[in-house]
Amino acid sequence: MDLGLKGKVALVAASSKGLGRAVAEELAAEGARIGICSRNEALVADGALAIEEKTGSEVLGVRADVSNIDDIKRLVSDVVDRFGTIDILVTNAGGPPAGTFQTLDEAAWAGAFQLNLVSVVELCRAVVPFMKAKKWGRIINITSISVKQPVEGLMLSNSLRAGVIGFAKTLSQELAPDNILVNNVCPGFTMTERVEQLADAMAESKNTSRDEVLREWEATIPLNRIGTTPEFAGLVAFLASERASYITGTTIPVDGGAVKGLL
């Protein structure tokens, strides 16, 4: 299937590893030119080179912290200076710390707010004008199944990622006349460093092992396994494509059937 992405420019946030890296690779494999970022300069440089070598597409790596508004502005400026525009924005950020209401202080809430909600707003603010100028754009927000079904021990993620969904739904309605589509994708348990860290934290709290926690999680998933990053990235690439031209304002889980709700 030709997704019509050859020559498009995509900015994928927080993409030196994990889900962001998988998405950047998938879009590059479809022929898009890619901007990636990470707080770690060495990781983002190595990631850009690896994706270029694997896919043959041009990739720009930028050191940037998406919780910092000045870094977001510089990131977008660097990508536009290199490629001329941005057609596709994939927002993404590391998950906030695990914890319960009683264990999380004001600093933890403020940091999570900046990282997981403000980053999405400011990335969109910086990128939307380029999409409006072309009357074409795709915004895909990587969130979590916690927006559909709260996850035990993830008070910050359960609370703040839901704000992204409200923002995105409203934005999708405002930008539809400009042919800019806004959608959310919600990874369930997918084998990344983040999931391994959550499993370790859960194991410590329950005095058990990471493997035992992973087995418990797998037992809650109808497909009876943890997902892979390429499985997730395939949906993002589709939503970024011409084939998804009548899909906007949606929130789609990629979770092996784990969410039990009807919507």
Give tens-digit pLDDT for 34-88. Answer: 999 999 999 999 999 999 999 999 999 999 999 999 999 999 999 999 999 999 9
pLDDT at 1 over 80: no
Q: What is the mean pLDDT of residues 181-200?
A: 92
190 pLDDT band (50/70/90 cuts)? very high
Task: Say which range, 156-165, 171-180, 200-209, has the weakest mean pLDDT.
Answer: 200-209
Give tens-digit pLDDT for 119-140. Answer: 999 999 999 999 999 999 999 9
The token duo for 207 is: 């005095």
Contacting residues for 129 by C-beta, under 8 A, at least 6 apart? none
pLDDT at 205 over 90: no
pLDDT at site 102: 96
What distance in Å separates the CA atoms of residue 116 and residue 6, rounded to the nearest whole number? 30
Range list of H helices, 84-154: 106-113, 119-134
pLDDT at site 155: 97
pLDDT at 202 over 90: no
> What does the DSSP assignment read for 153-199?
TBHHHHHHHHHHHHHHHHHHHHHGGGTEEEEEEEE-SBSSHHHHHHH
234 pLDDT band (50/70/90 cuts)? very high
Domain spans, the chain: 9-188+228-253, 189-226
* Percentage of the chain modeled with pLDDT above 90: 91
What distance in Å separates the CA atoms of residue 137 and residue 244, rounded to the nearest whole number? 11
pLDDT at site 105: 97
Edge-to-edge strand list for the sheet holding 251-254: 59-63, 33-38, 9-12, 88-91, 137-142, 180-187, 251-254
Q: Where are the beta strands (DSSP E) in 55-116?
A: 59-63, 88-91
Q: What is the mean pLDDT of the chain?
A: 96
Give tens-digit pLDDT for 89-112. Answer: 999 998 898 899 999 999 999 999
Q: How far is CA 83 from the centre of its chain?
A: 21
Higher confidence at residue 2 or residue 244? Answer: 244
Question: Do residues 53 and 60 make contact, with C-beta atoms less than 8 angstroms apart?
Answer: no
The token duo for 159 is: 């609370």
Alpha-carbon dihedral 224, 230, 236, 241, rounded to 10 degrees? -130
- DSSP H or E segment with residue 235: helix 229-239
What distance in Å separates the CA atoms of residue 61 and residue 11, rounded to the nearest whole number? 10
2 pLDDT band (50/70/90 cuts)? confident
Which CATH number is associated with domain 9-188+228-253?
3.40.50.720
